[in-house]
Amino acid sequence: MNIGVDIGGTNLRAGIESGGSITWQNKTLLENKHSLPSTLNQLMELIRPFTKYPVKGIGIGVPSVVDVSKGIVYNVMNIPSWEEVALRDIVQNEFNLPVSINNDVNCFILGEHRFGLARKYSSVVGMAIGTGLGSGIIINNQLYTGRNCGAGEIGMLPYKDSILENYVCNRFFESSLGMGAFDAHVAARNGNKKAIKVWKDFGVHLGAVVKAIMYTYDPEAIVLGGSIAKANRFFQESMLHSLKDFAYPESLRKLTLLLSENENIALLGAAALLDD
């Protein structure tokens, strides 16, 4: 058994992985994000009850660049006080347990590969589409993070007048509709024609991301996750249509596109960091 922790800009979640499932979990709203001592104390108090069980260690997913070898996190998204935090040492000293830390989207795809939809694939890319656009990569059954844990940042590639991420995340709906993706999804379900059109446009932009992944990594499968992926029925057709000009149709024919199903997959992936 390992403890998995998922740090977000709004919530902190933790749970115990046992037999490929999260057997017990808890979450708390992250408060006072401008105070490092306060946020660290919240994290410790969330983890503490789980350490009473015979766990082997603690795996933590963080929305940031991570020095994996040293366990240092930098410029954590939406937590201003976490500019440079030696998180591994802090947590290890508190609980006297082995700790492993990685990017949150890397945890997402590691969870899918170990316990979820991507178990049968040796090369797979996961995309988390929500507030931003993140990607995680498995190559030859191993998590690939790059030297600085920055591999897979497809969203930072130039696209149109900006970067891909600005067209494939919540900001796209805010700029196009004046509302977030959740409300845009509700509007589309209610038959709002403008919202439906924006979702179709979103699918075209997402197709550009899929093509970038294919040209760069040529994986067996791509897993779509994150809150926005739940609206796939409104963007799937236009996304697939936009792939028709892909230069290597045989490679595209062999590609499997999957939609993440397990709400706990990032926790499972964080817990799996101890065994990776």
Q: Where in the chain is the domain with CATH 3.30.420.40?
A: 2-104+265-275, 118-259
pLDDT of residue 275: 83
pLDDT of residue 8: 86
pTM: 0.93
CATH of domain 118-259: 3.30.420.40
pLDDT of residue 175: 96
Structure tokens at 116: 């979820």
Structure tokens at 273: 């960091």
Residues 6 or more apart in contact with residue 114 via CB below 8 angstroms: 20, 268, 269, 272
Tokens 């796209």 locate to: 172
Separation of alpha carbons 220 and 235, rounded Å: 22
Separation of alpha carbons 264 and 241, rounded Å: 31
pLDDT of residue 149: 85
Structure tokens at 261: 């199903």
- Assigned CATH topology for domain 2-104+265-275: Nucleotidyltransferase; domain 5 (3.30.420)
pLDDT of residue 147: 85
Ranges under pLDDT 50 in the chain: none
> What are the tens digits of pLDDT across the range 111-131?
999 999 999 999 999 999 998
Report, in angstroms and rounded to the nearest whole number, the Rg of the chain calculated over CA atoms: 19
Nearest to 99 by CA among 110, 87, 85: 87
pLDDT of residue 36: 96
